[in-house]
Amino acid sequence: MITNQKSWFGAEMRLISVILFVVEFVRGAVLVSLLPIFGAKTLGLSPDVIGAAISAHYLTDTLLKMAIGYLLDRFSTRIVVQAGLIISLIGIYLLQFSELPWMFIGAAALYGIGMSPIWIVCLTKVTDQQRATQMGTLYTIWMVGLGSGPIVCNILLDYSVSFTYKLLVSMSVAACVLTLFMSKERAAASNRMPFQKQLVILKERLGHMKMLLPGMILQTTGASMLVPILPSFANQELGISGTQYSILLTAGGLFAAGGLIPMGKLADKLVNKKWFLVTGFGAFAFGLYMLASGLSFWYCLLIAAALGLSYSAILPVWNALLAAYVPPNQEGLGWGVLSTFEGIGVMIGPAAGGLIAAWNGEASVFWTSAILFGLIGLFYLWFPFPAIATNEKATNK
């Protein structure tokens, strides 16, 4: 098993992982810190406009997932990833000229175009053995990048907005340069099926996994609702400084990243993985509810750590379940379709969060998100849950 894991995480996978880390570092910094803080303090934009910009980012990201998955099954991964990152670089570069709301939203939408390829490439590399462990490894890289971006950005923004922005642009350029070292080989096409036949198989698989669809959409909706209002909520409602806010993000990120691989390994050893999700969703809902209560910094620090740990219990098992439904020889399209369903929630969440905050205050966004995560936990508590082992057999037919 150790040999298989080392073989999976070879030189090409390490390069892809570095690119993923850089891309997610910039994405986290832009979406969680730069857009909300720059949009509100520098441009004077309202929460609903900022939420619309973040939703626009995820809208383009989501709508293109299926098409990108299709392209990855037919063209060199280097070409697809490289083209996407160049387009995203143009989007983040144009943010400095986004003085009007429509320009702000448009630049964020353009930035979202190139985010999908690198993540879908990573997902297609996951093998049948030790799925949860491999998912835990990928999500550790993803989460460390996504979490460290806002932390570093928050600190730098206190000193210089211009330097912070130039740093993020430079890192985006670096990600584009790294793609030059990716393999030029096209994915093997010997067993590729016609596109229409692939869609028929995917439709059949989606019918079998209808029990997972509510969780796919609602969890991403609940999480992304918080993105537009997190910095201002921390400052205005919790009364904490930018440094303390960075500490909270660090605590949550460290516990989440630190728990992903152990949780993935534990899940691989257990037959009934249902309780990972039920407990994880329930704990996450309770933590969000407590954060909305306006507790002191030290209580918030404990809650942030608990939220990170509960999320680490959810992610590896959840994505290992999804991986079991991706048919062989069409991994790119399969993950593109599944990511599209998950992206629906990410697409509508920020706009919904911004509207709720403008209508009834930022604390109500936390309450709404907590309700959504609680409903997901209850849903999977009372309804039958598919087993990964069964799905793996179906996948290999």
pLDDT of the chain along its 397 residues, tens only? 344 555 556 777 888 889 999 999 999 899 888 888 777 777 777 777 888 888 888 888 877 776 776 787 778 888 889 999 999 999 999 887 877 888 889 999 999 888 878 887 887 776 666 666 676 678 778 878 887 888 888 888 878 888 888 999 999 999 999 999 887 765 444 345 565 665 676 666 666 666 677 777 888 888 888 877 877 788 778 888 777 887 888 888 788 878 877 887 777 776 666 777 888 889 999 999 998 887 888 898 999 999 988 888 887 777 777 776 666 666 656 666 677 777 777 778 888 888 888 888 888 999 999 999 999 888 878 866 555 443 443 333 3
pTM: 0.66
**In sequence order, which ranges of the chain are alpha helices (DSSP H)?**
2-8, 11-28, 47-63, 65-72, 77-94, 101-112, 116-124, 131-157, 161-178, 195-208, 213-224, 230-232, 242-269, 274-291, 297-323, 331-360, 363-382, 388-395
Tokens of 301: 């620090």
pLDDT of residue 170: 95
For residue 336, give the 3-state DSSP assignment.
helix
CA-to-CA distance for 397 and 196, rounded, in angstroms?
19
Give the DSSP per-residue string, 276-287.
Answer: HHHHHHHHHHHH
221-251: pLDDT as tens digits: 888 888 778 777 887 788 887 778 878 888 8
Give φ, ψ of 202 to 5 degrees. Answer: -65, -40
366-391: pLDDT as tens digits: 999 999 999 988 887 886 655 544 34
pLDDT of residue 335: 66
Tokens of 195: 């596109």
pLDDT of residue 393: 38
pLDDT of residue 27: 92
pLDDT of residue 66: 65
* Length of the chain counted residue by residue: 397
Report the 10 Å Cβ neighbour count for 210.
Answer: 8
Tokens of 95: 């943010």
| Angle 135-88-11 from CA coordinates, rounded to 5° | 40
